[in-house]
Chain A
Amino acid sequence: MSRKISLAVAATAVIGLLAAPAQAEGVKIGMITTLSGGGSGLGIDIRDGFELALKQGGGKLGGVDVEVITQDDARKPETAKQIADRMVKSDKVDIMTGIVWSNLAMAVVPGVTKAGVFYVSPNAGPSALAGKMCNENYFNVAWQNDNLHEAMGQHVTDKGFKNVYILAPNYPAGSDALAGFKRFYKGKIAGEVYTKLGQKDYAAEISALRAAKPDAVFFFLPGGMGINFLKQYAQSGLKESIPLFGPAFSFDETILKPAGDAALGVFNSSQWNADIDNAANRAFVADFIAEYGRRPSLYASQGYDAARLIGSALKAVGGDMSDKSAFRLALTKAEFESVRGNFRFGSNHHPIQDIYVRQVYRDDKGDLTNKIVGKVFTDHQDAYAKDCVM
């Protein structure tokens, strides 16, 4: 008998031990992002940007203790979905963030927000989540997917180009990109080409492009595809005669170094750059370089802003996550200094912000990086906000 009792006592003690930390901890944040395989550079930058804000706050966001659980989705929707389920059901996270890719976001976000957990997107901004499928618990701190392409469409039109060749991979974000470009581009399309996702060799496309004699080229090829295209385009000798334009995704710090001079001088659109002059951005860029020994990319800036947005809302509610509508209201206000300066949320919880044109140049240290050469949009909002009913 006594043995049974001691067993029961021991069991209770063990359960107590297991349960204890959960009560003692602060707000739980689940981060699912891509840390291995293709495209891991983006996820690593988002994570590092997010963690930098945490370090600056001494392990707190907005003065509130937070625990961040980080997991690698390896760019697989099914993996991301499984991790998300576990984070929502077992870890009982309050807020989630981190996903890089739109197809993963579409697999994860609706379930998460339906379960009453907040999701702050540091990157992926598929049109569905900005429009018909928008949710009161979903916030995007980066952009809606089309925004940077729209800016390039406007810029190319402003610069007087009238016959543009456009190119993107054959997948949803690719057709969204070209649709976004065409929404603001007023000239003629010299050719519209969809390439295979993950394609390495663009010789056939470049030959066809030369034959079409466009006056400019707009391309959206994220990651390694962009490096391949930039190198091959430069080798074909076309870069001097037909200028290239693209969104920032093909010109971030992870691409400029391997692409080398092939990227030099190219124009690209971005909502952020290291040279945007405000106190938050100066501190971010300096601290990021000091902490990680490399330049921050726009992905890092988005991870950083995601953490600081969450921090501002946690501060407003004093770390109390029991009143969800108070926290939601605090997020909506976005009372934090964004590293990109001008920032607020539209009715669909997506940014209303300025979008710039940058140019790739070689700085005085001999490194390739971007500088802002102009502003295309002021207070730009996405085209889907009108479809969103919360």
Chain B
Amino acid sequence: MTALLVLEQLLNGLQLGVMLFLLAAGLTLVFGIMDMINLAHGSLYMVGAFVAATVAEYTGSFMLGLLAALPAAALVGMAVELIALRTLYERNHLDQVLATFGLILFFNELVRIVWGPRAIFMDVPEALSGTVEIVPGAPYPAFRLAIIAAGIAVALFLYFLITRTRIGMLIRAGASNREMVGALGVDVKLLFTLVFGLGAALAGLAGAMAGPLFAVEVGMGEGVLILTFVVIVIGGIGSVRGALVGALLVGLVDTLGRAFLPTLLRLVVEPATADGVGASLSSMSIYLLMVAVLVWRPRGLFPAHG
């Protein structure tokens, strides 16, 4: 285990964290502002990946696929908000969980009808298919670096949007006191739809960026959704800053756990036991992190509500 390997694994963790941030930012806004638990957020990620893969396949251009995925996911998201979710804001969380779980089933079936039950192909764009030797002796996939760059760009964009613009002010106000914003005459319905569309577009972006790395298949959003919920709980519900910090923490803890726990355990127990226990422990590591954070700060690192 060398310092260079640790450095490389830190980079891997950062990349996973950035990917999670793209999903968590949208989810935390919706959860924080509308007090709405949206389990179907992962479905929008799936829609983004499928649209990007299909457009990239037909046009031969990854960029066009990416550009198509953003509005497609945003439109699907806003349509879902208008048709289904709007009626759920007044209901309790359990109803919302049930209804949006139903949406997951609906979207999985819809994608199966449109694209079939099998995974579909999506490759890295030619220009980013190589590797870059950031850490000496360990060529790093260029596409993963591009994901990190895209994530940083989105974080900066959101920072600007939320702290410097009028709509950002309303989002912040909505997250800390919904009723007051409505009472002050803001068109809350429109704000909700826009925020939902923004969250959906970010999920679509994450899906399109994930396509070349992962299998583009029905149900691909569910596993990542669980991680995303862990992120927003750690970060504090409703806080984009919390989502960023939470995502990076989860990405780093998960990656470093997988990379080094078995090796560290080998120092104290038998190799066979170390591999088994290490694998199990590392898949628990992010949940242990969540428990630790919640014990220390029960409302997450950066709670949005006052």
Contacts and interface: CB of A to CB of B under 8 A. Distances in A.
A207 B279 contact: no
Contacts of B8: 207
A56 to B, nearest CB: 24
A201 B124 CA distance: 15
B138 A207 contact: yes
B118 A41 contact: yes
A231 B212 contact: yes
Contacts of B271: 192
Nearest to A226: B215
Contacts of A201: 12, 16, 213-214, 255
B117 interface: yes
Interface in B234-279: 255-256, 258-259, 262, 271, 275-276, 279
A76 B257 CA distance: 29
A203 B12 contact: yes
Contacts of B218: 37-38, 40
Nearest to A169: B279
Range class of the B interface residue count: 35 or more
Nearest to B139: A237
A115 to B, nearest CB: 32
A205 B258 contact: yes
Contacts of A193: 262, 275, 279
Given A203-B15, A208-B5, A228-B214, A196 B219 contact: no
Binding site secondary structure of chain A:
helix
Interface string B82-108: 000000000000000000000000001
A231 B262 CA distance: 25
A341 interface: no
Given A192-B275, A207-B9, A228-B213, A38 B118 contact: no
A236 B131 CA distance: 7
A208 B259 contact: yes
The 3 A-B pairs of least Cβ separation, nearest first, read A227-B215, A194-B279, A224-B215
Interface of A: 36-38, 40-41, 44, 170, 192-196, 198, 200-201, 203-205, 207-208, 210-211, 223-225, 227-228, 231-232, 235-237, 254-255, 257-261
24 contacts: A37-B108, A37-B219, A44-B117, A170-B279, A193-B279, A200-B224, A204-B13, A204-B255, A204-B258, A207-B5, A207-B8, A210-B138, A211-B1, A224-B215, A224-B220, A227-B214, A228-B213, A232-B213, A235-B124, A235-B131, A254-B118, A257-B119, A257-B121, A258-B215
Interface of B: 1-2, 5, 8-9, 12-13, 15-16, 108, 112, 117-124, 129-131, 138-139, 141, 143-144, 212-220, 223-224, 255-256, 258-259, 262, 271, 275-276, 279-280, 282-283
